[in-house]
Every structure is written in C-alpha cells, then in structure tokens.
Chains A and B, each alone.
Chain A
Amino acid sequence: QLQLHESGPGLVKPSETLSLSCYVSGAFVSNNRYSWGWIRQAPGKGLEWIGSIYYTGRTYYNPSLKSRVGISLDTSNNQFSLKLTSVTAADTAVYHCATARHGAGYYYMDVWGKGTTVTVSS
C-alpha cells in the first residue's frame, strides 16, 4: 500500500529556505508509473500546486513559484524533497506531498500525505 509522510521544520525564519522531505513506502520513487508532487494550503485559502518531479528527474513548477522552488528525488532513501527559498509569511501553509499519475491529456494526484504545517516567522 502506497503511503507518503512529510517531514521537516515547522518554523522557518523570513528570507530563509524552507526544506521538506517526503518519505515514500509501498513504491520506489524511481518507478515510472508515478510522478511526485507538492501542494500547499495557506490558512483560509484554497489548494495550491507547487510542482512535480517525474521519475526521470524532469520537473514542472507553478509559474508563480518557479523562481524560488526546487524539487528533487533521493532514490537512495526513497524520498523526494522540496526547497523554497526566500520565504515570507505568505508561505505559511500546510504542505502536502502526493503521488501523481500522468499521461497524454491527464494528470491527477491520488495518494496524499497527511501534511505538515510550516510557519514562517521570526
């Protein structure tokens, strides 16, 4: 059974880099059936897709975050990671990792982690 679990600091200072990891069990992150992504929800806001990484290492990012975000695979530890630089209070949110299925004309995120709360504050 595929499961994902986010981990990382719950508090980040403004202007610093937010770093989160997502440990995957039940599948290998190198599996070509999946891609891996990050989504967040700020307080009182809707869901916001951050980006995804394919098993090949190819990445896709939300255009509004593209200049600050990086997603990478760690096949040796079967996890993938998110880095978001120059954070501000607007980056305070619950961050979820998820698996994605993709192909010609379709993309959906079907298995989600429970999420981890990140607060940006000095």
Chain B
Amino acid sequence: QSVLTQPPSASETPGQRVTISCSGSGSNIGSNTVNWYQHLPGTAPKLLIYSTNQRPSGVPDRFSGSKSGTSASLAISGLQSEDEADYFCAAWDNSLNGFYVFGTGTKVTVL
C-alpha cells in the first residue's frame, strides 16, 4: 500500500557516498516534509532525518536529507560498515483523511 517508492538496494565501498531516492506525489512529499529512518534487524527503527533536512541530536552530519518537488533523497557520505541497514523514507499524506506513509525501503550494503 506504500505510495513512496525507493530502490530496493544500494551499495558502495567504505568512505564513499551513497544516495537513496524516495519518490512520492503531490499529496505527500509535494506538500509535507520528509523523514528518514534507519532500521537494523531486531531493533527499533531510528529517526535519522526529520522535517526533510534536520538531524536529531546524536546523528552524525554524514547523513543529510533533501527534497525537490515530489521526490526526496538521503545521502550518506563517508560510508561506514555500521551504516549497513535498511532505510525508509516517510511523509504525511493529505489524501483521504490524512495518514502517514513509509517508503518501500532500501537495503544499504557496505561492500
């Protein structure tokens, strides 16, 4: 039912930069801010980026978010082995009565 589309996987070598895309529509990304979550198996998802480009306290500045129109991106620079995880974008959708929607998820592999 997800209306936010992400590539299923991305990979890069340590120290390099990887970018993950998130494609939505005018009722979600086009109208509201975007959030990104990092999820490791067996743990609670961690808020990585909120309000499109804000980092919660404790999140390294290697992680950055941006948005243009109905698409958003998460960039991870200086890739480290501990960044290997699933990443989900999310946004509020104004359609129907309003609901929050997660992206399809991207598995990042550090080669």
Q: Which residues of A contact B (CB under 8 A)?
A: 37, 39, 46-49, 51-52, 60-64, 96, 100-102, 105-110, 112-115
Contact = CB atoms under 8 A, between A and B. Distances in A.
Q: Which of A47, A96, A106 has the most CB of B within 10 A?
A: A47
B99 A106 contact: no
Interface SS majority for chain A:
strand
A102 B35 CA distance: 12
Given A46-B104, A46-B105, A105-B32, 13 more contacts: A46-B103, A47-B45, A49-B90, A60-B99, A63-B1, A63-B96, A107-B92, A108-B47, A108-B51, A110-B47, A112-B46, A114-B43, A115-B44
B63 interface: no
A64 B92 contact: no
A47 B99 contact: no
20 contacts: A39-B45, A46-B86, A46-B102, A60-B98, A60-B99, A62-B1, A62-B99, A96-B44, A96-B45, A106-B33, A106-B51, A108-B51, A108-B90, A109-B35, A110-B50, A110-B56, A112-B44, A112-B45, A114-B43, A115-B44
